[in-house]
Amino acid sequence: MKTPEKKIELDETEARKPSEQEQQQFLQQIQPKLTVMKENFNLLVIGKKGYGKTSWIRGFLANKQRVLFVDSMQYEYTEDDGLILHTYDELVRWFIEHRNDERQVFRIVCRFSREDIMKLLVLWSKLERTTLVVEEIDMYNEDEIALLVEHGDRGRHNENNLIGITRHPVEVDAQMRKHVDCIVSFQQDDVNTLSYLEKINKDEAKRLPALHKGEVVVLTGFEYLKAYYERDDEAKQNDTNRS
Ligand SMILES: Nc1ncnc2c1ncn2[C@@H]1O[C@H](COP(=O)(O)OP(=O)(O)OP(=O)(O)O)[C@@H](O)[C@H]1O
Ligand SMILES: [Mg+2]
């Protein structure tokens, strides 16, 4: 059983806090826009069951060109989200078959075994500009998170991105928490979780219990989200140039 780390290592973002209005405007804008990340960052999306984490991720990534969803436990993603594959071998075959595709666009839902998820991490680190979404990131043990973080770091220069999603942020392995640049939170009412989050951002954490379904607060790393949002999508520009 893991014990929660006491030390919070996430809050480097005191420099300039966005106003609530800025955050709201930005979050409203996210849904319809097309962007591709040109910088790497690791995002943690947290919040109570059923308050809209997965739905928000769908909107946030709606127009991303390359996404791998790791969805092995609850099967939250469907054919509408991407191509559903069940093994690492299927994924490798898919990449081999599509290796000559000019645009290299893919959205794949990986309902893999734990062993295959670990293999997937190696492949991910070799891809470029690929967002890896890991649902229920609190369920991975120290060794698994170590691999995730290691391959995330290797992929940084490829502009890969990692998004972890969880209902239980306090139970996320400390190595992952250390590597998180940005936290977005939905409703929270668990006392321990709230006291943990207050150490990251006291003012914003106080708002969490009163949030309604679909409402979100950026606890840290607003500038990363904003950069992500504002950057032009090279693939989109290429498409525009072609047409
Ligand atoms: N912005 C929103 N406004 C209203 N309803 C929403 C909103 N976002 C999500 N919902 C609805 O709330 C329900 C739960 O949403 P979702 O699956 O995204 O939650 P979740 O936080 O991912 O839950 P879980 O922890 O179980 O994975 C869905 O039926 C969804 O349609
Ligand atoms: Mg969900």
Domains of the chain: 35-238 (3.40.50.300)
Please report the pLDDT score of residue 4 as a whole number.
Answer: 42
Give the phi and the psi of residue 25 in degrees, each rounded to 5. -60, -45
C-alpha of residue 165 to centroid of ligand 2, in Å: 8
Nearest Cα residue to atom 7 of ligand 1: 214
**Cα–ligand 2 centroid distance for 239 (angstroms):** 32
Least confident interval from 1-15, 70-84, 203-217:
1-15
Cα-based distances in Å from 182 to 42, 72, 88, 122, 223:
6, 24, 29, 23, 9
Q: Spell out which residues have Cβ within 5 A of ligand 2, the ion.
A: 53-54, 76
Measure 164 CA to ligand 2 centroid, in angstroms. 11
**Which atom number of ligand 1 is nearest to the Cα of residue 47?**
21
Query: Model confidence over 188-218: pLDDT tens digits?
Result: 999 999 999 999 999 999 999 999 999 999 9
Confidence of residue 131 (pLDDT cuts 50, 70, 90): very high
